Amino acid sequence: MSTLRRTVRVRPGMCGHNSLFAGQIGDWTWDAVAQVCGTDVLRARDASGAPTYLSFYYYRVHGSRRFHLRSPAFGDELHVTTRLFGFGSESVLTLHRISRDPRSAAAPLAPEDFYAFGDPDSLYVENFNRWVARGAAGTNASLVRSSPPDFTHAHLPALPEKFSPRHAYGRARTDLTFLDHGAAAPGTELVVDYEVDPSRDLNGAGLLYFASYFSIVDWALLRLWRRLGRDDRSYLDRVVVDQQLCYLGNADAGRPLAASLRHWPGPEGEEAVDVVLRDRGTGRVLAVCSLRFDTGVSA
């Protein structure tokens, strides 16, 4: 059994112009892994007895102008179909199809259908997670792979190779973008500094929370938005139809970071932004994110 279904009603703590819904989907991923793989994800420990965490390595949200990451609102009823795929003892892939149409709940979640992204009234979310533990006490800078012994995975189906997330995040690591920009040059570039905020950016384990990366990207994007001469209302109305994020490192509270942004104007109704998050002191890349927008107007 690798497929789960749930119906949920959207509450205030699950949505908004922030990273709350991305965090909620992440919780569904942890719930699914716990249920399907027999591991207490919230209290997992490795063979040495040290805490180990099901960290997010690749997160993709693909939607449409009709239904995107910020569409869910108070009281909406969402129907979520979740399916897990095996990637060995250290990793797992979770696919979520999220819809407001109850008929979608009964439909199977085949990879071919998922990656076709064919339903404009559904949100398609891909989470690739790895088990990690702190390599050194007191710091988030050196995480190492570390699986709990009770993580069962042999029963999970294999994902067809052509859909493997390794193709996407491999490109991001090499090219610092998920997108093929060809020979085009970016329209506007911007670098902004950010300091990891101990009052809001860390999770209960003291790590830079995976959803905080979404918030930091959005914070940096707002600075770029204003540089482009756009107002805050248009920022709130933005429609991100595809967002891909690769997590390459973590950071400690108070650590200074730098976000490098490149804006790519496209044909009418389309544009893209790449964001690379680095440790400002060492230059170590912490995350790569690419966003595609449906603007409805020429860029």
User: What domains sit in the chain, N to C, each tagged with a CATH number?
Assistant: 3-160 (3.10.129.10), 173-294 (3.10.129.10)
DSSP per-residue codes, 222-285: HHHHHHTT--HHHHHT--EEEEEEEE-----TT-EEEEEEEEEE-STTEEEEEEEEEETTT--E
Please list, residue by residue across 191-215, b when 16 or more beta carbons sit within 10 angstroms of its beta carbon and e when fewer do. Answer: ebebebeeeebbeeeebbbbbbbbb
Chain centroid to CA 194:
19
Q: What pLDDT is attached to residue 269? A: 78
Dihedral sign for Cα 138, 139, 145, 151, please.
Answer: positive
Which tens digit of pLDDT belongs to each residue from 260-281?
999 999 877 789 999 999 999 9
Q: What pLDDT is attached to residue 142? A: 85
Residues (pLDDT < 50) of the chain are 298-299
Which tens digit of pLDDT belongs to each residue from 65-106?
999 999 999 999 999 999 999 999 999 999 999 999 888 777
Dihedral sign for Cα 66, 243, 190, 279, please.
Answer: positive
CA distances from 187 to 258, 259, 271, 299 (A): 20, 17, 10, 10
Q: What pLDDT is attached to residue 103? A: 83
Is the Cβ–Cβ distance between 192 and 223 less than 8 Å? Answer: yes
Q: What pLDDT is attached to residue 299? A: 36
CA-based radius of gyration for the chain: 19
Q: What pLDDT is attached to residue 185? A: 87
Q: Which two tokens stand for residue 91?
A: 């990793």
Report the run of H or E that residue 78 belongs to, with start and end: strand 77-86
Q: Which two tokens stand for residue 110?
A: 């085949």
Q: Which two tokens stand for residue 55?
A: 């960290």
Q: What pLDDT is attached to residue 77? A: 97
Is the Cβ–Cβ distance between 128 and 159 less than 8 Å? Answer: no
Chain centroid to CA 66:
20
Is the Cβ–Cβ distance between 46 and 265 less than 8 Å? Answer: no
Q: Where are the beta strands (DSSP E) in 135-187?
A: 143-145
Q: Which amino acid is at 262?
A: R
Q: What pLDDT is attached to residue 297? A: 54
Q: Which two tokens stand for residue 22?
A: 């991305």
